[in-house]
């Protein structure tokens, strides 16, 4: 028999059953977070690829199975997938000029679910008014179709964001994933939306995962992109600032770039979240400071254990769009090109966030200073659920159609110092 002088501590034996915070992480109808999320508009499809009269698309949002289509008159429609007659899927339906027609018995519904024809009934359905296909309001902006799934009387304005407003004449919105099967209803992933939304408040993972651990993954690092000191784990803690803003969580990461003449420029790389599920990323591949932010992402829960990502980029530069989509490589490849061994040796966001589990287990976490942004975000999301339960409008609800959200994401020049001067010079003060 083996004996030890002291009891072994910290073994896995006898631990309580792992659990997650249901209030934070469940999104179905009637759950606290599900009800809070239903107070906002969410992207459901890309406008450009939702073609008038084309086959309907099947999707799932906040635990509800939906069909999205564009009728022949160009109106976007979002209805329950299950037909109000006897339940056949409208995914097998046909989109016509004024609505969608079920394959089973030919009932036709318009974009607001009114039954406008019952093909096999006398007089095409003398009592068709009694049938109503459950539907949700849809609206379009920034190259995306949005849906509102909350209480009709509390429907807010579709939000505007300054980053995407007022495109120049030669600019357009890029908002479609050029991936077969994922172009219309976003990019799907089989883990909770919070694994990725929390990641957007977690800058230390960029330093470790995207560089130190797996090799530099942001294309352009050290050339036209971010300098190697941006990714230095020994510097990251002192270079980060987290802020709770009036619309979400924002972090700023300071870093330095030395010019050929030895002059050092200090920049701030800022990522700004707009609750409940929006954030902007600066150009993370190319140093492009002090311009107007041009891009936003939305992380939309499909259900508790899966989500879809949407984006919109306002630009006249297809390279910017390409840099965004292909900007992170793993061993010089895109994620889907990796071998099993490469997934292990060169992990990126997919490996890290996917392996947290379909829902991350709050009871098994050990949080530290680098998780400040994540903790702030969780608190703000829970406050959002509290507000909805208390009958108040939650954060970021827009009632005035002219209001424009300010997005503070970007890469900003903070200061410069001449060659040879040390980092305590005034350039860095006040940050």
Instruction: Give residues in contact with Fe ion (CB under 5 A).
Output: 349
Residue 92 interacts with which of ligand FES, Fe ion, none, CB < 5 to 8 Å by class = none
Q: Does 86 bind ligand FES (CB under 6 A)?
A: yes
Choice from 20, 40, 91, 107 touching ligand FES (CB under 6 A) = 107
User: Which CA distances in Å does 328 have to 217, 323, 356, 413?
Assistant: 5, 8, 20, 24
Residue 102 interacts with which of Fe ion, ligand FES, none, CB < 5 to 8 Å by class = ligand FES
Q: How many residues bind ligand FES (CB under 6 A)?
A: 9
Q: Does 83 bind ligand FES (CB under 6 A)?
A: yes
**What is the sign of the dihedral through the CA atoms of 350, 352, 356 and 357?**
positive
Question: Rg for the chain (alpha carbons), in Å?
Answer: 24
Binding mask 261-300 for ligand FES (x = CB under 6 A): ----------------------------------------
Q: Does 104 bind ligand FES (CB under 6 A)?
A: yes
Q: Give the nearer residue to ligand FES in terms of CB position, either 117 or 342.
A: 117
Mark the segment that binds ligand FES (CB under 6 A) among 79-87, 161-169, 269-277, 381-389. 79-87
User: Which CA distances in Å does 87 have to 305, 320, 404?
Assistant: 25, 45, 41
Mark the segment that binds ligand FES (CB under 6 A) among 13-21, 97-105, 129-137, 183-191. 97-105
Minimum separation from the CB atom of position 86 to ligand FES (A) = 4
Q: Nearest to residue 281, comparing CAs of 256, 236, 250, 254?
A: 250
Q: Give the nearer residue to Fe ion in terms of CB position, either 71 or 349.
A: 349
d(CA 219, CA 285): 6
Minimum separation from the CB atom of position 246 to Fe ion (A) = 26
Q: Beta 278-280 vs 264-274: how paired, if at all?
A: antiparallel
Q: Give the nearer residue to ligand FES in terms of CB position, either 102 or 270.
A: 102
Residue 85 interacts with which of ligand FES, Fe ion, none, CB < 5 to 8 Å by class = ligand FES
Q: Does 88 bind ligand FES (CB under 6 A)?
A: yes
Q: Does 197 bind ligand FES (CB under 6 A)?
A: no
Q: Give the nearer residue to ligand FES in terms of CB position, either 83 or 145.
A: 83
Q: Give the nearer residue to ligand FES in terms of CB position, either 92 or 216.
A: 92
Q: Give the nearer residue to Fe ion in terms of CB position, either 283 or 349.
A: 349
Q: Does 85 bind ligand FES (CB under 6 A)?
A: yes
d(CA 74, CA 97): 8
Q: Give the nearer residue to ligand FES in terms of CB position, either 80 or 197.
A: 80
Residue 83 interacts with which of Fe ion, ligand FES, none, CB < 5 to 8 Å by class = ligand FES
Q: Does 67 bind ligand FES (CB under 6 A)?
A: no
d(CA 231, CA 275): 27
Instruction: Name the site residues for ligand FES (rule: CB under 6 A).
Output: 83, 85-88, 102, 104-105, 107
């Amino acid at each position: 028999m083996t004996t030890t002088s002291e009891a072994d501590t910290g073994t896995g034996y006898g631990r309580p059953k792992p659990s997650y915070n249901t209030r934070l992480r469940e999104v179905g109808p009637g759950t606290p977070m599900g009800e809070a999320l239903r107070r906002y508009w969410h992207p459901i499809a890309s406008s450009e690829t939702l073609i008038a009269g084309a086959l309907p698309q099947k999707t799932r949002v906040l635990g509800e199975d939906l069909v999205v289509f564009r009728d022949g008159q160009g109106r976007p429609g979002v209805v329950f997938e299950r037909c109000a007659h006897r339940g056949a899927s409208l995914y097998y339906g046909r989109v016509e000029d004024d609505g969608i027609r079920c394959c089973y018995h030919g009932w036709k519904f318009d974009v607001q679910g009114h039954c406008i024809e019952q093909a096999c009934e006398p007089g095409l359905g003398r009592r068709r008014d009694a049938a109503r296909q459950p539907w949700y309001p849809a609206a379009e902006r920034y190259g995306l179709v949005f849906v509102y799934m909350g209480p009709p009387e509390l429907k807010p304005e579709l939000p505007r964001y300054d980053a995407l407003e007022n495109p120049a004449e030669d600019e357009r919105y890029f908002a479609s994933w050029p991936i077969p099967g994922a172009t219309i209803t976003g990019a799907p992933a089989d883990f909770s939306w919070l694994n990725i939304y929390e990641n957007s408040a977690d800058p230390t993972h960029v330093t470790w995962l995207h560089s130190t651990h797996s090799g530099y993954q942001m294309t352009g690092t050290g050339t036209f992109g971010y300098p190697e000191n941006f990714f230095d784990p020994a510097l990251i803690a002192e270079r980060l600032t987290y802020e709770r803003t009036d619309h979400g969580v924002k972090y700023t990461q300071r870093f330095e770039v030395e010019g050929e003449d030895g002059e050092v420029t200090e920049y701030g790389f800022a990522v700004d979240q707009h609750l409940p599920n929006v954030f902007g990323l600066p150009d993370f591949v190319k140093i492009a400071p002090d311009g107007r932010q041009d891009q936003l992402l939305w992380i939309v829960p499909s259900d508790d254990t899966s989500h879809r990502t949407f984006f919109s980029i306002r630009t006249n530069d297809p390279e910017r769009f390409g840099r965004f989509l292909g900007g992170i490589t793993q061993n010089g490849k895109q994620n889907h090109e990796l071998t099993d061994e490469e997934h292990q040796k060169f992990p990126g966001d997919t490996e890290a966030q996917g392996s947290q589990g379909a829902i991350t287990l709050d009871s098994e976490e050990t949080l530290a200073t680098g998780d400040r942004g994540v903790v702030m975000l969780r608190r703000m999301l829970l406050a959002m659920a509290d507000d909805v339960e208390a009958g108040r409008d939650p954060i970021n609800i827009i009632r005035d159609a002219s209001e424009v959200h300010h997005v503070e994401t970007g890469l900003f020049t903070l200061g410069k110092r001449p060659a040879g001067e040390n980092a305590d010079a005034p350039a860095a003060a006040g940050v």
